[in-house]
Chain A
């Protein structure tokens, strides 16, 4: 099973600041099957990035994804008030089990 470790657990930032979220895998992940989600309380996960770096439909360009192998990053260029939420990385593909990272909470400083 591929374990995804997200860091930091909590990120305290102000609107307008840059957020950098990390996702490290216990073994190499096919970048095609690495995604990032945003989740707010009471809502399902919202797909932000798939294929490690492709923005999903309707996602603002302040969100970007990068990385390969075992190290992946989600960057939010300038935090907007609606961006304060929990973010998860996710690896999938042909071989179960599918796994998710433990999440990074981006909170208002």
Chain B
């Protein structure tokens, strides 16, 4: 069974950094395109970043230069390194696996940027 479990969210001050993790089970993470998607409180879904199976990465303009997507193949874990955080980054962050036309989603982890 495919499972994605996010962790690492929490309260962080403006300008701070945070690293989110997404532990994958039931499949080999490095064989798939993996995404981060976020959802601000009461708002819609917004794509953040993608890493391809070949390691190519893509970012939304709003996070480019501040966020870095990566993975640890040995731990079968996806990461999102977030720097220079602002209040606009407050959201639930979901990781997702893209498998052909199907996306599988984790439960999400909440990031709150506030002083």
Contact = CB atoms under 8 A, between A and B. Distances in A.
Interface string A75-105: 0000000000000101010001111111100
A15 to B, nearest CB: 25
Chain B interface size band reads 10 to 19
Interface of B: 35, 37, 44-47, 50, 58, 60-61, 94, 98, 101-103, 105-108
Nearest to B106: A44
Nearest to B52: A94
Contact of B105 (A45, A54, A100): A45
B101 A98 contact: no
Contacts of A47: 102-103, 105
Chain A interface size band reads 20 to 34
A56 B101 CA distance: 10
A97 B102 contact: no
A44 B35 contact: no
A54 B102 CA distance: 10
